[in-house]
Each structure stands twice: as C-alpha cells, then as structure tokens.
Amino acid sequence: MSNPENVMSADYKEALTSLLFQLADDDLMYAFRGSEWLGLAPHIEEDVASSSISQDSMGHAAMYYQLLEELGAGNADDLAHSRPSSERRNSILTERVNGEGVYMETPLYDWAYAVVRSYFYTQAKKVKVESLCKSSYTPLAEVAIKVKMELYYHRLHWETWFKQLMGSTDVARKKMTDAMTLVMTDFGDMFSFGTKKQLIESNRLIEPEEVLLQNWKMSLEPVFTGLQMTVPAVPVPKKNGRNGEHTKDLDQALRTLSEVYMVDPIAVW
C-alpha cells in the first residue's frame, strides 16, 4: 500500500491523479446539479433529504480534491473552480442539466430524471467506493470508508423513490421510463477510466471497468426483477468525459459554479 510519504513512481502518481480527478469532478457536478434543485423538490421533506445528499456529495468531492492538493496537483478550491471543461474528467451524466430552464429564473426541472440519475449514479458510486476501500493508495481507501457510510443512506433514499414512482400511476411510470432512456444515453462513460484505463487498473487503485460494471448490474437486478423489468444495457459512449470530452451543459455549470470565485481567484472568500 502507498501513502504520500512513500516515494511514488511517476506512473503510479499519474494513474492516481487521473482517477482522483474523475472521482472529484463526478461528485462536484452531481452535488452542483443537486444544489440547483434546492427549494424546488416535490415536497418539503424531500427538499431537506435531497439537499442533505447534495451536501454530502459536495463533501466527498472536497475530500478527493484535498487528496489531489496533497499530491501537489494544486489548490483544492482552484481545482474545483478554475479548470476549463477540457480538463474536467466527470462523466457526461453528472454534468447534464436538470431539465428546461435556469435555476435563477423559473426552471421546469424533471423529478423523474433527478430520481433515475441519482439512483443509477449513486449505485455506480457505491460499487466504485466499495472497490476503493481496497485501493492500493491508503489515503484514498480511508476516504472511501467514510464515503461508504453516507452512501448507504443515499442509495436507500433513491431506491425508495425509484421503486415508488415506477410502481405508481401510469403518468409516473411513463415519466420514469422516459427518464431512464435519457439517463442511459449518457451512461456510457460511467465506468470508463478513459485513456488511463490500463494505468489505473494495473496499479490496483480500483478494480477493472468490466468488474465494476458487472457489480453495478448485479446490484440493480433484484430491484428490476421486482418491478418486472430488465437492467438497461450500458451503451458505448458517444463522448467520454474521462478524456475531457463534454457537452455544452458543463460549460454552463462551470460558469455558474465559478462565477464569484473568478471575480478574484486569489482573494480569500
């Protein structure tokens, strides 16, 4: 097992940094999209619950950026706020807008999309985090153990919503099915390590892409069987966020999340 005090090979450091950017950027974007929902959830209790999940996820992103800072990749706030979209490594799914409109005006966000995205993403995150608990990089394994505790509740929350809405009115089922199609269109890079696949996997930082994908499918199967449905197939990615390929949605998100920071990136806020 490695830790920051040990001498790290250049390859190992490159693999680790690449993986950490993927993890950090994923949670930053997921939490950001969640924070746009704040105050607009279907009922007040849900607003309290889902904003707690966004907050936890922002905390996870902060821990990953902190590990990057310790590795000399730069200041954590800078990494979160000032990297252009071409340097971002989050999956396409996490950057997607919540629906029509902008949160500052009168958005028409889609709760079905929020539920499906959150459920599939959280389940994917759980599979990864469980694998990270055995990572060759000890500080990452330690962070993963903390994240895992909170994920238990996140997964339970979104699974409950998923089952309830899928098993309810025709309108709800239709909206959920449509949302699932939309979510799966962007799911292709969820388990991808991009061009760093070989480097990340050979350094035993996390299990291989194929193992994670298989675990994700297996973890969803009981729920889908209960709903008389089949776990959807994960497509080949059209764009791979892990390689810095992104949609316009990410540019919009970055403009908002860094608006104040960019007024003066050197100032203390």
Chain residues in the site for another protein (CB under 8 A):
31-32, 35-36, 38-45, 47-48, 51-52, 54-55, 58-59, 61-62, 65, 76-77, 80-81, 103-109, 111, 164-165, 167-169, 171-172, 175, 256-257, 259-261, 263-264, 267-269
DSSP string, 114-146: HHHHHHHHHHHHHHHHHHHTT-SBHHHHHHHHH
Distance in angstroms (rounded) separating the CA atoms of residues 219 and 222: 7
Nearer to another protein, 41 or 212 (CB): 41
Nearer to another protein, 24 or 206 (CB): 24
Question: What is the token pair recorded at 225?
Answer: 């069987």
CB of 191 to another protein, least distance (A): 26
Question: What is the token pair recorded at 211?
Answer: 């193992």
Distance in angstroms (rounded) separating the CA atoms of residues 161 and 139: 33
CB 97 within 8 A of CB 34: no
CB of 134 to another protein, least distance (A): 27
Nearer to another protein, 56 or 207 (CB): 56
CB of 2 to another protein, least distance (A): 25
Distance in angstroms (rounded) separating the CA atoms of residues 252 and 257: 9
Phi, psi of 2 (to 5 degrees): -105, 155
CB of 167 to another protein, least distance (A): 7
Nearer to another protein, 48 or 145 (CB): 48
CB of 86 to another protein, least distance (A): 21
